[in-house]
Amino acid sequence: MAELHHGASISPRKIELIAPWISRQRWYAAKGREPRLRQLWSWRLDDPDGEVGIETILAADESAAEAVVYQVPLTYRSAPLPDADHALLGTMEHSVLGRRWVYDGPHDPVYAAQLLELVYGRAQAASARESAAPEPDVTGHRHPHAPDVRPGPSRVLSGEQSNTSIIYDTTGPDGAPKPLICKVFRTLQSGDNPDVVVQSALAETGTLRVPGMAGWVAAQWPAPAADGAAHGQVAFAQEFYPGTEDAWRVALRAVADDADFTGPARELGAATAEVHALLAEAMPVEPATPEAIGAVITGMRARYVAAASEVPAIAAYDYEIADVFAAARDASWPVLQRIHGDFHLGQVLTVPGRGWVLLDFEGEPLRSLAERSRPDLPARDIAGMLRSFDYAAGSWEQAHPEGRRRDWADACQHAFLDGYAGRSGRDPRADTALLTALQLDKALYEVVYEARNRPSWLTIPTDAVVRLLDDARKANR
């Protein structure tokens, strides 16, 4: 294990390099605010060649009332890493080692390789406080059904919003490709990550609707309030399907061509119902008690308040929105169960021989971990996918102001619901009050997201709010 140079001076300090860099990352939650970072903890991995320093820093951003913890893996090099300027945080002067080039770890092949070795139990985390000492609070957990793989080249998946995923071109013992993807969770909250928990439960059913699991890295770290410890998974590895596209990209082409997408939408509805049924069998369910219903409705109202704060014009619909949520509260509720939690076209792939495969069961990133981990309404996933079809059409209309794709979105939504009803035996449209409220809730969530991250797309969710309220008004006539 690496020797640590205690007492050495470093300029600038690591946290000073991280702060301006982190504010530019897509996964940084406090857009528009200046980060105020405090280092909570760190741990290391060893480079087998002894050339590259590898350290993962957990930093608390205290620029908001409630601190947010970010995971920032770094590598330290004595010379620039070729073709990695995009991942360079900067340079620092080390009083013993000299100039060090500091990189975002997932983009460095040495970090990527050692992270996967840790997942597979072939490497051990090292202390960042004591030389030649292990770090017992960071452990790798290989899944019992994980494929045997040999190391291979790695690269970072582009375009992600809330995490960073590393693609590994690994092979099996026979040399056949067995590519993996490892998601590095950037924002950490205390508790088991739903992505790991839910996919583990589904994997045990033997379903082909989720990727095969490789394993994860778990850690325990100081809580931001400095009075106790937090815990959870910090990385998660699973099968990767090269050459496949997510349904969002496929749907966008269909929108552009004004091509029929109802067949795939219907099949996706059936696959969604299948996964919901498996989750109800594999994980605990709960009755929809008055307390549970109250908690869901309270969450809806909170998202309305947040949306109205970001876009004051939403407040003009205060009473109508309240009526929709009240109708949902008074409706007949099914039992609550674990769901996907952030279901949209970007979360599913068409894999040859398997059909639709669902990904990323982490839940909506703006929700708390506790909220994302509790049983919920399957109709929330249905509402999320209905909104996603609307987004596909709306994104095309953003680029073509004179064009319309409302009929395309409506056809896909109906086909999806038909497929779900055929597989589950119950048509989601029979629960109109719940489905309308959950679509409205999702649209309000989208208002907040777009206002903070992509204002040019804000009209997609705001138009949906008006349209959903109009539909609710007509239904009550």
Among candidate residues 239, 262, 293, the one where a domain is terminated? 239
In a domain, 3, yes or no: no
In a domain, 446, yes or no: yes
Statement to judge: residues 161 and 302 lie in one domain: no
Longest CA–CA separation in the chain, Å: 77
Statement to judge: residues 323 and 218 lie in one domain: no
Among candidate residues 239, 258, 287, the one where a domain is terminated? 239
Number of domains in the chain: 2
CB contact at 8 A, 241 and 388: no
Q: What is the pLDDT of residue 111?
A: 98
In a domain, 225, yes or no: yes
**H helical segments located in 208-289:** 247-257, 262-282
* Whole-number Å distance between alpha carbons of 218 and 197: 12
Residues 384-403, mean pLDDT to the nearest whole number: 95
Residue 132 DSSP class: T
Among candidate residues 197, 221, 239, the one where a domain is terminated? 239
Residues 111-139, mean pLDDT to the nearest whole number: 96
* Whole-number Å distance between alpha carbons of 268 and 287: 27
Statement to judge: residues 98 and 176 lie in one domain: yes
CA distance readout (Å), 241 to 165, 195, 212, 225, 361: 13, 18, 11, 41, 17
Q: What is the pLDDT of residue 447?
A: 97
CB contact at 8 A, 443 and 465: yes
Closest CA to 443 of 310, 251, 262: 310
Helix (H, G, I), strand (E, B) or coil at 130: coil
Average pLDDT of the residues of the chain: 94
Statement to judge: residues 211 and 252 lie in one domain: no
Q: What angle do CA 223, 224, 226 make, to 5 degrees?
A: 70
Statement to judge: residues 69 and 189 lie in one domain: yes
Beta strands in 79-179, from DSSP E residues, in sequence order: 88-94, 98-104, 126-127, 138-142, 154-156, 163-168
In a domain, 2, yes or no: no
Q: What is the pLDDT of residue 2?
A: 67
State percent of the chain over pLDDT 90. Answer: 87
Statement to judge: residues 208 and 275 lie in one domain: no
The CATH number assigned to the domain holding 443 equals: 3.90.1200.10
Statement to judge: residues 255 and 378 lie in one domain: yes
Residues 320-325, mean pLDDT to the nearest whole number: 97
Q: What is the pLDDT of residue 285?
A: 97
In a domain, 5, yes or no: no
What is the enclosing helix (H) or strand (E) of 118? helix 109-119
Statement to judge: residues 306 and 446 lie in one domain: yes
Sequence-distant (6+) residues with CB within 8 A of 178 are: 147, 148, 149, 170, 171, 172, 239
170 has a pLDDT exceeding 90: yes
* Whole-number Å distance between alpha carbons of 424 and 416: 12
pTM over 0.75? The answer is yes
| Interval 201-242: pLDDT, tens | 999 999 999 999 999 999 999 999 867 899 999 999 999 999
Amino acid at 205: T
CB contact at 8 A, 381 and 272: yes
Res. 474 pLDDT band, cuts 50 70 90: confident
| Interval 259-287: pLDDT, tens | 999 999 999 999 999 999 999 999 999 99
Statement to judge: residues 327 and 350 lie in one domain: yes
In a domain, 81, yes or no: yes
- Domain range for 134: 10-239
Statement to judge: residues 300 and 187 lie in one domain: no
In a domain, 4, yes or no: no
Statement to judge: residues 275 and 199 lie in one domain: no
Point out which residues pair with 65 in neighbouring strands: none
In a domain, 287, yes or no: yes
State percent of the chain over pLDDT 70. Answer: 99
CB contact at 8 A, 444 and 314: yes
- Hey, what are 29's tokens? 């939650």
Statement to judge: residues 341 and 304 lie in one domain: yes
